[in-house]
Amino acid sequence: MTLITETMEPDTRERILVVAERLFRELGYQKTTVGDIAKALHMSPANVYRFFDSKKAIHEGVARILMGEVEVAAQAIMAKPGPATPRLRELLSTIHRMNSERFVGDSKLHEMVEIAMEESWEVCVAHMQTVVESIAGVVAQGVASGEFEAQDVPLTALCICQGMMGYFHPQMIAQAVNKPKPHAPIEQMIDFLLVGLATRKHS
């Protein structure tokens, strides 16, 4: 019996997060109660609290899943074979596209992002670090293959990430969509950053 409960628990945890994500999208984070989540799962609120000690913990779990999908995609691009230049381009475009889909189009999800940044900053920071590490991975491969020149790979990755802030940061993506302003198209921004990485011919 203990054995069954133990193997069931990760599944229940995941089911709670799937349902919570759906309700947060449908009703908004503020309006969704732990009671609503429990009801949708045909379980008692007390059972939900066995897995997550607060609504904030559920929110963090959902935020981790949404950010985790971006991290998995980034790591898959880093792990692909082939030249680093097109993969760095693909990596930066993919993060932009996935962040736009996840955190901007949907105003209810945007509320979740605002709350994650307000209440669970450490989850956001861990995500940023993983993204920077994926970029650093591709930059290191490009340095190894002679495509890129970078003295300090982690710092270079940080600068690339910083340079992409207008395309990566949920608040900045939302601002670019909602409020017209001077804005370079992403392809041209990536071109500009790649010029800085290109191997210089030393005389």
Binding site for a copy of itself (CB under 8 A): 117, 121, 124-125, 128-129, 132, 155-156, 158-159, 161-163, 165-166, 169, 171-172, 179-184, 188-189, 192-193, 195-196, 198, 200-203
Between 41 and 124, whose beta carbon lies closer to a copy of itself?
124
Between 10 and 196, whose beta carbon lies closer to a copy of itself?
196
> Nearest approach, Cβ of 122 to a copy of itself (angstroms)?
9
> Nearest approach, Cβ of 200 to a copy of itself (angstroms)?
6
Between 80 and 183, whose beta carbon lies closer to a copy of itself?
183
Residue 148 backbone phi and psi in degrees, to 5: -115, 160
Helix, strand, or coil here: 148? strand
Question: Other C-beta atoms within 10 Å of 120: how many?
Answer: 17
Between 50 and 183, whose beta carbon lies closer to a copy of itself?
183
> Nearest approach, Cβ of 124 to a copy of itself (angstroms)?
7
What are 198's strand-pairing partners? 148
Between 144 and 155, whose beta carbon lies closer to a copy of itself?
155
> Nearest approach, Cβ of 164 to a copy of itself (angstroms)?
8
Q: How far apart are CA 95 and CA 158, in angstroms?
A: 15
Token pair listed for 163: 């340079």
Contact between residue 109 and residue 63 where contact means Cβ atoms under 8 Å apart: no
Distances (CA, A) of 43 to 8, 18, 77, 80, 185: 14, 14, 40, 43, 48
Token pair listed for 117: 């940044």
Between 43 and 166, whose beta carbon lies closer to a copy of itself?
166
> Nearest approach, Cβ of 105 to a copy of itself (angstroms)?
20
81 burial level (CB within 10 Å; 0-12, 13-18, 19+): exposed
> Nearest approach, Cβ of 151 to a copy of itself (angstroms)?
10
